[in-house]
Structure formats: structure tokens, C-alpha cells
């Protein structure tokens, strides 16, 4: 099958390799011609050369229309800020209704839409799906056992995507709760920044475990208010992705939070990052979405205050721990 991966970052490169090893013909597109030229030359991704060799079977391409030509399926791995413009281009360039799988995790600030929502809002008639789960790119690249969930509102599309990605070391579950899978994958990045702040302040595993436990309640509450299924947030794109992103040293969002916890200003941390920490733009979008839905999200609120209102990290912590004690579970909703 001819598959095109749009986005030549760490995750896009890793998935291009994975798909090419499944006897697919894979094209990998990136927006930067110099980057793509380097990939085509020495087959090493210059943004992450330590472990991102591009398989020789993967064809690299800088021309977007050429990359999509004759494709039987698209995988989109661009940063969330570029999804809208890419979607508009695809809406005018694609001639068939080939399936599109988004692996981008984010929420558009202006609309509150997830990434598949942006694709549909741009007028694409294609069936769309989202792939998410506890998948650090380096570990998937090295063939370490991983599990994900691929979700679509269309059951046939979900099953198509499941068959496309499934490998012995890359187990793919199917779901029809596309919205829940996307929200879980996006919101966990905001919480991972808070987890990193906890690390930067020198707190231990007790603190982080409490944070993760209360965060999944927050994520579920907001997700259900948006129309997602409750049980999705106990799965791979909810609790699974949240756990790995909050605890792993490989997590960009956790690393960003750690630097903030050690006292570095937001602008300096952002300027030093070579890859996107999606939790930064998502914190603003999630905060606004929670306000629109009337949902109480104390952890998201404090991360937003730290990133966008200049609130001191220690003051944000005080705001969280100073909250009134409550019942856990159903009694706490009264």
C-alpha cells in the first residue's frame, strides 16, 4: 500500500520506518527543504540524529503535492499549530477520499477542536482517525514493545488503521471514541508540564502519583463534558499516555516543566527547545475549553497561570495544596 507520512519530526520519522517495514511503500514529507535534503542524503534526521536513521525504503519528499500523489492513506504528524493550514491545502489538493490518520496531539485555541476536528472543519471529505497512546518515539524506534489505540467515528476506518499499523512489537487497539482518544492525548501534555515542575522543585514519587491520579479525574471530567466516553480515559490514550509522559525522562513536556520548576523563565525554556512541547499551546486551549464547558480543572488552571500569566511555580503549588479537602469519587460530586 502507498502511504504518505506528513511531518518529518521524531514521531513522523519513527512511524514512516514502522510502516515501511510492513511492506508498504512510504513517502515522508517535511516542510523544510534543507531538512529533507539531509534526510535524503545521509538518511539521518538532523533534529534527532542519535536514533533517527530513516530506512532506505522510505522515500523523502519536500513537495507536498508530489508526496500525496497516488497515496492510499495519509498519516499526519505535523505540530498542532500547522494543522489548519495543512488541512486547507489538503482539502484542495486531494482528489480521493483516502483515509487520514492524525498522530498530532493538540486542541485548536480559536475553535476548541481536536486535530481530526480541524481536518473535518477545513472541508476534507476523507474518513479520519486518531492514533494515540503511551508511545515515546525513541522506544518505538528501537522496537520496544508498545501499545496504542486507533480511533475513528467510522468503524471500518478504525479497523483499516489498526491493520495498517499493527506489528508484533506495536500492538494496536481499535476504538470508535475518536474524540476521547484525541482529548486524552492532548490534555496529558498539560499535566506532564505540572509533573515536570514537581521534579524541578525536588518532590518525589508520592507527589507525582497524587498529581497523576487527580489529573486523570480532571481529564475525564472535561472529556466527558465535550462528548467523549468515560471509559476511554482509563485506557491507553488516557491513563496510559498520561503515566508515561509524566514519569519518563524522554518526555519533552515533562522536561519543560522540570526546567520551570528549577526557576527558568518560560521564554528561555521555549527558546532553548529544539522540538515542540505541545503542552504549552494546549494549556491555553484546555483552559479556555474548560471555561466554555463550565468544568473545574484546578491543575490545568495552575499550569495555564504559570505559562501565560507569569505565576510563580511555588505560588501555583500553594494554590493547589491549599484547596479544601473533599470526598473522593461519587460523593465528591455532590
The catalytic site residues sit at 188
> What single DSSP character describes residue 167?
B
> What single DSSP character describes residue 78?
S
Q: Which residues contact 55 (CB under 8 A, 6 or more apart)?
A: 16, 17, 20, 21, 43
Query: Residue 121 CB: number of other CB atoms within 10 A?
Result: 13
For the chain, give the longest Cα–Cα distance. 62
Set of cell numbers at residue 2:
502507498
**Which H or E run contains 20?**
helix 10-20
Around 3, how many Cα atoms within 13 Å sit in the side-chain half-sphere? 27
Around 317, how many Cα atoms within 13 Å sit in the side-chain half-sphere? 19
CA distance 294 to 161: 35
> What single DSSP character describes residue 239?
I
Q: Work out the burial of residue 44: count CB atoms within 10 Å of its CB; fewer than 13 is exposed, 13-18 middle, 19 or more buried.
A: middle
Amino acid at each position: 500500500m502507498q502511504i504518505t507520512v506528513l511531518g518529518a519530526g521524531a514521531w513522523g520519522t519513527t512511524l514512516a520506518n514502522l510502516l515501511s517495514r510492513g511492506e508498504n511503500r512510504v513517502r515522508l514529507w517535511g516542510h523544510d527543504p534543507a531538512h529533507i535534503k539531509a534526510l535524503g542524503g545521509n538518511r539521518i534526521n538532523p533534529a534527532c540524529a542519535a536514533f533517527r536513521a530513516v530506512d532506505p525504503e522510505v522515500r523523502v519528499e519536500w513537495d507536498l503535492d508530489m508526496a500525496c500523489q497516488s497515496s492510499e492513506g495519509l498519516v499526519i504528524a505535523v505540530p498542532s499549530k500547522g494543522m489548519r493550514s495543512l488541512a486547507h491545502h489538503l482539502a484542495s489538493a486531494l482528489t480521493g477520499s483516502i483515509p487520514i490518520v492524525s498522530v498530532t496531539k493538540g486542541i485548536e485555541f480559536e475553535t476548541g477542536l481536536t486535530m481530526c476536528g480541524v481536518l473535518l472543519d477545513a472541508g476534507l471529505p476523507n474518513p479520519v482517525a486518531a492514533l494515540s497512546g503511551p508511545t515515546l518515539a525513541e522506544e518505538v524506534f528501537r522496537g520496544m514493545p508498545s501499545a496504542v489505540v486507533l480511533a475513528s467515528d467510522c468503524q471500518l476506518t478504525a479497523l483499516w488503521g489498526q491493520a495498517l499499523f499493527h506489528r508484533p512489537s506495536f500492538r494496536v487497539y481499535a476504538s470508535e471514541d475518536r474524540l476521547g482518544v484525541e482529548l486524552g492525548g492532548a490534555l496529558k501534555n498539560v499535566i506532564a508540564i505540572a509533573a515536570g515542575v514537581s521534579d524541578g522543585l525536588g518532590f518525589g514519587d508520592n507527589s507525582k502519583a497524587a498529581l497523576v491520579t487527580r489529573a486523570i479525574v480532571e481529564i475525564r471530567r472535561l472529556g466527558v463534558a465535550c462528548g467523549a466516553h468515560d471509559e476511554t480515559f482509563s485506557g491507553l490514550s488516557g491513563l496510559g499516555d498520561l503515566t508515561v509522559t509524566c514519569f519518563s525522562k524522554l518526555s519533552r513536556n515533562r522536561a519543560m516543566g522540570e526546567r520551570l520548576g528549577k526557576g527558568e523563565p518560560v521564554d528561555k525554556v521555549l527558546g532553548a527547545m529544539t522540538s515542540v512541547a505541545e503542552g504549552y499551546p494546549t494549556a491555553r486551549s484546555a483552559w479556555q475549553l474548560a471555561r466554555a464547558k463550565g468544568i473545574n480543572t484546578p491543575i490545568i488552571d495552575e499550569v495555564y497561570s504559570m505559562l501565560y500569566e507569569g505565576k510563580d511555580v511555588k505560588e501555583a503549588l500553594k494554590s493547589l495544596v491549599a484547596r479544601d479537602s473533599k470526598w473522593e469519587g461519587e460523593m465528591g460530586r455532590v
